[in-house]
Structure 1
């Protein structure tokens, strides 16, 4: 390749760069111009692969969905299979809390997302839930995972460790300054409310809530059969 030949752009590499920027600086830091500079091309070169930033965000969501390693179907009870699928989703979302929120509204835009939805709906269908109810249940279960990731105690918008630590200390100090007569239980739980000491336990509990919640919902009367 001559020095005058522009570098070939790999859309996968662009998405990887965008994901890194989002993880370290937040979604607002992602711009077509920033990515073009990182890859040594003009913004117009990126527009050949992505129509606009919204299109790029769609690709970021598709990347997270593609990273989900779904377990193979089995003969285990449906709720155990649902839990395993949700756990696989959570494993892919946890490293990318700033991007996870993009996924729920874009889950039907990529083949990995469609495969995930099909697996969940098939299991819920087998458990007796009609399509409309299964869709609502599956949607809320997935959104609960995103909420878990986005609201982990101690997590902040900043990815800088010192900034995060300062934010946690400030929040803890504010709680400890509360009147003990009015908020005794908040004071007793101040550390747990500001910092997640057992991250795996936190996410395991979230999965149990999701599965137990589904199991506790009675299937509606079917009208599709």
Structure 2
């Protein structure tokens, strides 16, 4: 099969009864090895460093050989997000705890994304067909519906929660990357940021200068938890 045919086959349910497909000659590089190598590059160098040429170098092969396993960079992105989704354990939907359940799934996705700096960019603007990505989306939708959220609201909320989680992780990765440069280290220094806000002309920025403490407040993932709570609580009171 050519790469496009293999990609289509990956997005189909397993053969009923677990019957093996036609036997093929073993390839020197497998799709799993390609994904493993890509994740290693991202973990150590960030998502922006991941190119087909860089990946080929990590696998000690030529870029052209990668296209025997993946169709293009977009296909590789879907494989990467699919791998992360495969590691997620989804809860059995419970109407009594659905808010905590959906918050827990988003938190686990967040932690996965942050393990691989910038990888959440791969999840943006994606129309996924990977079965593992679809499994996570299905599980989240089931939790929302079990919680009594109307189907249309649940469908759009599912997308919004995933989008916010990906965007939050991307911004966090960018901030951390910039903080490695001396000139930009202040972006993680809350006191320095507060000082800059309070130094603004009070007549022009009365609210910013007055509430600089509130604008710079928060530790760790406090803002993520706050925003997620707003979104979920809003679903509970349509």
TM range (shorter): 0.7 to 0.9
C-alpha deviation, 1:179, in angstroms = 1.0
Q: Please list, as runs of the form range in 1=range in 2, the aligned pairs for 1:70-109 lying within 5 A after superposition.
A: 70-74=90-94, 76-106=96-126, 108-109=128-129
The equivalent of 2:29 in structure 1 is: 9
Q: Deviations over 1:102-129 (max 9, x none)?
A: 2254474222221222222223333444
Aligned-residue CA RMSD (Å): 3.4
Q: 1:35 aligns with which of 51, 55, 69?
A: 55
Where does structure 1 lack aligned partners over 5 or more consecutive residues? Answer: 1-6, 218-225
Distance 1:154 1:44 in 2: 30
Matched, 1:208 2:196: no
Aligned length: 210
The equivalent of 1:223 in structure 2 is: none
C-alpha deviation, 1:49, in angstroms = 0.8
Q: 2:77 aligns with which of 57, 79, 84?
A: 57
CA contact (8 A) 2:82 2:130 kept: yes
C-alpha deviation, 1:41, in angstroms = 1.0
User: Are the structure 2 counterparts of residues 98 and 139 from structure 1 closer, same or farther at C-alpha, using a change threshold of 3 Å?
Assistant: same
The equivalent of 2:10 in structure 1 is: none
Q: 2:151 aligns with which of 115, 131, 144?
A: 131
CA contact (8 A) 1:144 1:210 kept: no
The equivalent of 1:145 in structure 2 is: 165
Q: 1:182 aligns with which of 196, 204, 207?
A: 204
Where does structure 2 lack aligned partners over 5 or more consecutive residues? Answer: 1-26
User: Are the structure 2 counterparts of residues 93 and 70 from structure 1 closer, same or farther at C-alpha, using a change threshold of 3 Å?
Assistant: farther
C-alpha deviation, 1:193, in angstroms = 5.1
CA contact (8 A) 1:156 1:164 kept: no
C-alpha deviation, 1:164, in angstroms = 4.8
CA contact (8 A) 1:65 1:112 kept: yes
Matched, 1:122 2:157: no
User: Are the structure 2 counterparts of residues 166 and 82 from structure 1 closer, same or farther at C-alpha, using a change threshold of 3 Å?
Assistant: closer
User: Are the structure 2 counterparts of residues 153 and 104 from structure 1 closer, same or farther at C-alpha, using a change threshold of 3 Å?
Assistant: closer
User: Are the structure 2 counterparts of residues 177 and 154 from structure 1 closer, same or farther at C-alpha, using a change threshold of 3 Å?
Assistant: farther
